[in-house]
A = this chain, B = another copy of it.
Amino acid sequence: MSSLLQERVKCASLLKKIVKDARELVPLFKHGDYIGMSGFTGVGYPKVVPQALADHVEKNQLQGQLKFNLFVGASLGAEVEDRWAKLDMIDRRYPHQVGKNIQKGINEGRIRFSDQHLSMFPQNLAYGFYTREASNQKSPINYAIIEATEIKEDGTLILAASVGATPEILQKADKIIIEVNTALPSFDGIHDIYEVADPPHRKPFLIEKVQDRIGTPGLKIDMSKVIAVVESNRPDNTGGNTPEDETSKQIARNLTEFLMTEVDAKRLPKELLPLQSGIGNIANAVISGMVESPFQNLTVFTEVLQDCFLNLFEAGKLDFASATSVRLSNQGFDKFYADWENYKKKIVLRPQSISNAPELIRRLGVIAMNTPVEIDIYGHANSTMVNGSRMINGLGGSGDFLRNGKLSIMHTPSVRPSKNDPLGITCIVPMVTHVDHTEHDLDVFVTEYGYADMRGLCPRDRARLVIEKCAHPEYRPILLDYYETCLKKCLKAGSAHEPHDLSVVFKMYQNLHENGTMRINKWW
């Protein structure tokens, strides 16, 4: 046993459960098992045991013969999740995923993926909703494999860079395997672990400010369930950041302009309200743009902290951030660990049942900002699927935040390139091909051309505004033609609340498929 491991595992009875070689655990796992893992947005996930399993499958050519139902708060690192998918080791997957091979598996019909709001996943798991066929078992999850950075004297776990659904996964697991990561510092003090009771025993979450704590730094577990403690010395595999480009910077400027208008009109306080921001280059640009903005004393209530938030801390603009994971680049993690004592006071990591709780998002009045695949002229958004069929990553927490935030903002470039047209794909369409967020949920759309403030407008007024303010100039006449003609037809038919013609509404996609561009010459 390494001296580092001994230092981190302070509980005598768990010290006895140390397994030196993860390969010893491989025979435990059976085809069809239900496996829960820690992890969220590619941090805080177990790295050794899942890879030992993958090695075993690869070496013995067991592809498709050792498949699991995989439960994780959100996504894992690619070397686990994507490799498992490549080796055909995943049957069901809940509630989110990232990776080329797992997407391939889902879209080729091999992986059964259920895309869930991240706030709901832990409670639905605890309710037994996902394991109904296993309801005669006492513990529907056969194995929980959890990354920790320390085990206290009493067996309490100090988790790593994410909390996610780990509390619920451990509650529902029959057997627990703990990976203690000695390549990371102990994260003791940054977590606020609160275990959510099932109705009718659930209590209010007594958080009124982003920095409020309602739980404990460590996670208590049933030690009798622990079957192994394994050392891990592999860092989180997060890679670099998506670079900001001129388009995303312009989107960020338009969004900042909108927020300043809201402050001027006294609909927002000058320090704004807690910010939520998704992942990606626009989100990065938006948060980075705040560094140059006049805003001060900002706060964050979000699910993932990326590098851009560190910049905001460094610029002295950000007072406090609450999330369920810290997903930094390697360079970002170096900065974070070097200034650990400082960041520990300014960041809290909560379970995703708390970080994404509708109760808290609405109470705090969060400003929710996310990037969709496409939006439509009446205010719906597609966050998950291409052509209504091909899954990308899943909706994550976007629905939790956009439904409940005080302001629900979606930002996207107005166009994306297709294979043979740099303006081939318009992100503003007549009707999105999959609805993840409805017209009842969204307030403001932002593109590099401007923003459409749809609050309180009827669909007809929204359509004109979205086309005029957000669509790419090349697509404005095309979209306006659709709208104006549908309006005429629907006025005649007495159905003009939200004018559509279902017989042509998806024509642009057909044109993209056939001619490589959504720029169509005529609708009818």
Chain B residues with CB below 8 A from A440, complex form: 115-117, 120, 395, 399, 436
Closest to A133 in B: B456
Expressed in whole angstroms, the Cα–Cα distance for A494 and B390 within the complex equals 7
Which residues of chain A (476-491) have a CB below 8 Å from chain B?
Answer: 486-487, 490-491
Q: Is the CB of B386 within 8 A of A495?
A: yes
A391 close to chain B: CB less than 8 A:
yes
Interface residues of A in 367-421 (CB under 8 A from B): 380, 385-391, 395, 399, 403-404, 406
Using an 8 Å CB-CB cutoff, how does the interface string of A420-432 with B read, 1 for contact, 0 for none?
A: 0000000000010
Q: Does A33 interact with chain B (Cβ within 8 Å)?
A: no
Q: Is there contact, CB below 8 Å, between B113 and A497?
A: yes
Copies in the complex: 2
A453, closest chain B residue (CB): B132
Do A391 and B108 touch across chains, with their CB atoms under 8 A apart? no
C-alpha gap A486/B117 in the complex (Å): 26
Tell yes or no: A16 within 8 A of B by CB: no
- Among the listed B114, B267, B496, which residue makes an inter-chain contact with A127, where contact means beta carbons less than 8 Å apart? B267
Confirm or deny: A329 has a beta carbon within 8 angstroms of a beta carbon on chain B.
no
Kindly identify, within residues 333 to 377 of chain A, every residue whose CB is under 8 Å from any CB belonging to chain B. Answer: 357-359, 362-365
- Is A269 an interface residue, CB under 8 A from the partner? yes
A108 CB, min distance to chain B CBs, angstroms: 6
In contact, A203 and B198 (Cβ under 8 angstroms): no
- Interface contact B503-A510, CB-CB below 8 Å: yes
Give the contacting residue for A496; candidates B123, B209, B389, B434; CB below 8 A: B389
Within the complex, what minimum Cβ distance (angstroms) separates A275 from chain B? 13
- Residues in B neighbouring A56, C-beta threshold 8 A: none
Assembly CA distance A213 to B410 (angstroms): 37
- Report Cα–Cα, A365/B364, bound state, in Å: 22
Q: Could you tell me if B92 and A458 are in contact, using CB atoms closer than 8 angstroms?
A: yes
Are A456 and B267 neighbours in the complex by a CB distance under 8 Å?
no
Q: Is the CB of B502 within 8 A of A433?
A: yes
Known contacts being A114-B458, A388-B498, A497-B391, is A199 close to B273, with CB within 8 Å?
yes
A312 within 8 A of B: no
* CA A492 to CA B344, docked complex, whole Å: 50
Min C-beta distance of A395 to chain B, whole Å: 6
Q: Kindly state the separation between the CA atoms of A443 and B391 in the bound complex, as whole angstroms.
A: 20
Given known A-B contacts A128-B265, A438-B435, A364 and B497 have beta carbons under 8 A apart: no
Measured CB to CB, the nearest residue on chain B to A503 is B510
Instruction: Check A112–B458 contact: CB distance below 8 A.
Output: yes
A461 touching B204 in the complex, CB below 8 Å, given contacts A496-B107, A502-B509: no
Known: A364-B199, A365-B200, A506-B503. A455 touches B129 (CB 8 A): yes
- Chain B neighbourhood of A510, CB < 8 A: 502-503
A491–B362 touching, CB < 8 Å: no
Q: Which residues of B contact A365 (CB under 8 A)?
A: 198-200, 202
Does the CB pair B209–A206 fall under 8 Å? no
Instruction: Tell me the complex Cα distance, A124–B435, Å.
Output: 23
Residues of A259-279 whose CB lies within 8 A of B:
265-267, 269, 273
Q: Can you name 19 A-B residue pairings with CB atoms under 8 Å?
A: A107-B495, A123-B406, A124-B455, A124-B456, A128-B265, A129-B267, A132-B265, A132-B455, A135-B265, A200-B273, A202-B363, A387-B500, A388-B498, A388-B500, A389-B495, A389-B496, A390-B494, A399-B440, A505-B506
> 8 shortest A-B CB distances, which residue pairs?
A199-B365, A390-B495, A435-B435, A391-B497, A112-B458, A359-B359, A130-B456, A358-B358
